[in-house]
Amino acid sequence: MKISASYWMFEGGLEAQKPVVEAMRQAKALGFDAIELAIAGTGVLTHEATQSQCEDIAATARDIGIEIASVASGENWTCSPTANDEAVRSKSIEFNRRALHAAKWLGTDAYLFVPGAVDVFFLPDAEVVPYDVCHQRASEALRQILPVAEQTGVAICIENVWNKFLLSPLETRDFIDSFDSEMVRAYFDVGNVLLTGYPEHWIRILGTRIKRVHVKDFKRSAGTAEGFVDLLEGDVDFETVKEALADIGYDGCVTAEMLPFEPGRPEKTARAMKKIFK
């Protein structure tokens, strides 16, 4: 498997201010094979990026010798496809359509997609959307975005996140299958599932639906977001995770999503990723 670094891991990345070329060079210098870039509503790389701008980034990546593993976006947390406001839902759908085009121009075939949320754990004042309503709106939004995924060849990769939605691997599997398209896949996050489940169960149930993998570590005893810790300092059994990934034939990129930035964390993460996966 190829080890990859999230753009968000680098200083200024989460704020969408880190120059993309600097992040790619830094990831390469740390020994990563690839990098996951991020598209935001504002910042250095947005959904309004032109084909020429994206293709220039892709060409620079080739010159540096680093692969663009995938494209992520956190925009759906605050501009959600399941929001109560119809105007917000429409804005989210348009954002994701344009982001898929940008992902294609950047040269990747995977776009991380947060499908909506019952609530947003890091925004205490966020609205609460009834679960069944969230499910219906997420499905409707995906069906509106899917034609662009099929046109571009970039898969919409649904990530398991702390959104109180798609809470089991069986439900996630069936939700993905309901679209009957190879362009709706899973982006499996190892650390996100540890509070309520076992990564190896999710991996084997989702199987070849998994298009990309995020790597984090987590201490179950914390029970909150404070439980996310540096790699090899939590309760993730990485040997078991690797066995499960091998069982389903996964040999793609594994991307370290270690955030927020802390001095020394990118270097520490690179060492841990090499120890785990190399």
Output the DSSP codes for 66-87: -EEEEEE--HHHHS-TT-SSHH
Q: Which residue has the tokens 């040269």?
A: 107
Torsion of CA 162, 14, 239, 197, to 10 degrees: 0
Q: What is the pLDDT of residue 225?
A: 95
pLDDT along the chain (278 residues), means of 10: 97 98 98 98 98 98 98 97 98 98 98 98 95 98 98 98 98 98 98 97 98 98 96 98 98 96 97 96
Q: Give the integer Cα–Cα distance in Å for 189 and 90.
A: 27
Q: Give the integer Cα–Cα distance in Å for 208 and 192.
A: 19
Asked whether the beta carbons of 71 and 39 are under 8 A apart, the reply is: yes
Strands 34-38 and 228-229: unpaired
Q: Report the greatest alpha carbon distance in the chain.
A: 48
Structural domains for the chain: 2-277 (3.20.20.150)
Strands 155-159 and 184-189: parallel
Q: How far is CA 272 from the centre of its chain?
A: 20
Q: What is the pLDDT of residue 278?
A: 87
